[in-house]
Amino acid sequence: MENSALIVGASGIAGNNLAQELLKNNWTTYGITRNSEVNLKGLKNIKADLLDLKSLEEALKELNPTHVFFTAWMRKDTEAENIKVNGGMVRNLLQVLSPKKSVQHVALVTGLKHYLGPFDAYAQDGFKPETPVRTEHSRLDLDNFYYAQEDEVYAAAERDGFTWSIHRAHTVIGQAVGNLMNMGTTLAVYASICKENRSAFIWPGSEAQWNGISDVTDAHILAKHFLWAATTPEAANEAFNIVNGDIFRWSWLWKQIAEYFQIKYQGYIENNKSLEVRMTDDDTIWEKIAAKHQLVESELDRLASPWHTDLDLRRPIEVMTNMAKSRKLGFKEYQDTRESFYNLFDNLKAQKIIPS
């Protein structure tokens, strides 16, 4: 049977890069979004509300995908609401597809909040998980919408007989306008504002993150990991961590980013301001920058998500990720993290999202 993929969240960082990877490998690829149209040659767009069963049934009535890749989520005010909505989206989609009996594999991307706790209790002071984090670590005794999403996949797999894979990424670096978790573009916008203001690129995070070891996940390597797990029998029914494969300290990478933008930088100082605070009044300056350089997006909140970048950079602990399971099963891809950021910045300039 020809591989036919349905990507939930094809307009996001993970979903869009996955669509490109699947199309490059000659997969028939559908992207489902709630409202947006994804402009990607070869991608078949579908619009549906995953919280509305009738909407889903109508949108998918002619579709019989062999593979489902779930890369979408919605943020609500509390973790209880996050669980209800995000678990519900997974459950509804797999329920609608169940009678078709076409699905062979379902993949779900989550992240390190699996190990560090949900938004409501994320890496709080006094919490020290064993690092590097490993997939065999037990779930935390906390409500977490990632757990709810996983449980929906497990239940549907037992009911319908498909295989599954879980992909736990650490800070995905890639491009997607309007994305809620977008560190790379957020830092590019912040650096561009610093350059325009002739001010220093000031570190907004914790001392532990500044001096500690970290890693990130390039969206391209995440896409390759999705494809690998979906087509490697030995990888079936496993949860994996997925990162670039190198490690770094922010005290080094922050300087690299400053040098790319040709701006001064300042490292960690005690009682520093968060990035969300630093960028609170930057809407007006960004509008001026966008007009001056004829950029395609003048609304700052469509590009930058400083609140989420703060979750990473202000953690009171260092965090890195163990990828031994993937390596043992044959996934050998590697990505240099500095190049991940530089490649993203180059693309943002080429597409006139930030000044060149």
Active site residues: 113, 146
Phi, psi of 169 (to 5 degrees): -95, 160
Q: What DSSP state is assigned to residue 296? A: S
Radius of gyration of the chain (CA): 20
Q: How far apart are the first and last CA of the chain?
A: 46
Structure-token pair, residue 267: 């490292």
Angle at 339 between CA 300 and CA 222, to 5 degrees: 80
Amino acid identity of residue 225, one-letter, is: H
Cα–Cα distance, 265 to 306 (Å, whole number): 18
- One DSSP character per residue, 124-141 reads -TT----SSB-TTSPPPS
Phi, psi of 210 (to 5 degrees): -60, -45
Would you tell me the crossing angle of helices 337-350 and 183-197 to the nearest 10 degrees?
70
CA 350 to chain CA centroid, nearest Å: 22
* Edge-to-edge strand ranges of the sheet holding 4-8: 44-47, 28-33, 4-8, 67-70, 105-111, 163-169, 238-242
Please name the residues in contact with 65: beta carbons below 8 A apart, sequence gap of 6 or more.
Answer: 4, 5, 6, 30, 97, 102, 103
Q: 200: closest CA among 252, 287, 261? A: 261
Strands (E), 204-293: 213-214, 217-218, 238-242, 248-249, 265-266
Please name the residues in contact with 288: beta carbons below 8 A apart, sequence gap of 6 or more.
Answer: 196
